Amino acid sequence: MAGKSMQSLVEELRAKKERLFEGGGPDRLAKQKEQGKLTARERVTALVDDESFEEFGLFAQHRQAGFGMAGKEVPADGVVTGAASIDGRLIHLASQDFTVLGGSAGEVHSLKVAEVMHRSLSTGSPFVFINDSGGARVQEGIDSLSGYGQVFYANVLLSGAVPQVSLICGPCAGGASYSPALTDFIIQTRKAQMFITGPQVIKQVTGEEITADALGGADAHMAHSGVIHFVAEDDEEAVHICRRLISFLPSNNLEEPPRLPTDGNVDPNPKLNDILPTDPKKGYDVRDLIAGIVDQGDLLEVQSGYAMNMVVGFARILGRSIGIIANQPLVLSGAIDINAANKAARFIRFCNAFNIPTITFVDVPGYLPGVEQEYGGIIRNGAKLLFAYSAASVPKIQVILRKSYGGAHVAMCSKDLGADCSFAWPTAEVAVMGAEGAVEIVFRKEMQEAENKAERRAELIAQYREAFASPYVAAGRRLVDDIIEPANTRRHLAQALEYLQNKRDQRPPKKHGLIPL
Contact positions toward ligand HXC, by CB under 6 A? 101-102, 104, 134-139, 145, 148, 171, 173-176
Minimum gap (Å) between residue 102 Cβ and ligand HXC: 2
3-state secondary structure of 341: helix
Q: Which of the following is catalytic: 174, 216, 323, 334?
A: 174
* Residue 54, Ramachandran bin (φ over 0: left; ψ between -120 and 50: alpha; else beta): beta
Alpha-carbon distances of 309 from 150, 342, 410, 425, 428, rounded to whole Å: 37, 12, 17, 21, 19
- Phi and psi at 325, nearest 5°, equal -125, 125
Minimum gap (Å) between residue 31 Cβ and ligand HXC: 8
3-state secondary structure of 77: helix
Minimum gap (Å) between residue 503 Cβ and ligand HXC: 41
Cβ atoms within 10 Å, residue 237: 15
Minimum gap (Å) between residue 109 Cβ and ligand HXC: 10
Q: Which of the following is catalytic: 175, 283, 418, 437?
A: 175
Residue pair 177/141 in contact by the 8 Å Cβ criterion: no
Q: Which of the following is catalytic: 176, 408, 431, 494?
A: 408
The nearer residue to ligand HXC, 96 or 470, going by C-beta atoms, is: 96
The nearer residue to ligand HXC, 135 or 471, going by C-beta atoms, is: 135
The nearer residue to ligand HXC, 175 or 437, going by C-beta atoms, is: 175
Q: How many angstroms separate the most distant Cα atoms in the chain?
A: 113
Residues 6+ apart with CB under 8 A from 178: 148, 152
The nearer residue to ligand HXC, 174 or 250, going by C-beta atoms, is: 174
The reply to whether 407 belongs to the active site is: yes
Minimum gap (Å) between residue 152 Cβ and ligand HXC: 7
Q: Which helix (H) or strand (E) holds 305?
A: none
Minimum gap (Å) between residue 332 Cβ and ligand HXC: 37
CA distance 347 to 54: 32
Q: What is the DSSP letter of 264?
A: -
The distance from CA 178 to its chain's CA centroid, rounded to whole angstroms, is 16
Residue pair 489/497 in contact by the 8 Å Cβ criterion: no
Bridge partners, residue 85, by sequence: 90
The reply to whether 135 belongs to the active site is: no
Q: What is the DSSP letter of 168?
A: E
The reply to whether 174 belongs to the active site is: yes
The nearer residue to ligand HXC, 63 or 281, going by C-beta atoms, is: 63
Residue pair 220/214 in contact by the 8 Å Cβ criterion: yes
* Torsion sign across C-alpha atoms 27, 33, 35, 39: positive
CA distance 398 to 482: 11
Residue pair 165/183 in contact by the 8 Å Cβ criterion: yes
Cβ atoms within 10 Å, residue 322: 25
The reply to whether 25 belongs to the active site is: no
The nearer residue to ligand HXC, 101 or 326, going by C-beta atoms, is: 101
Minimum gap (Å) between residue 215 Cβ and ligand HXC: 12
Active-site amino acid positions: 174-175, 407-408
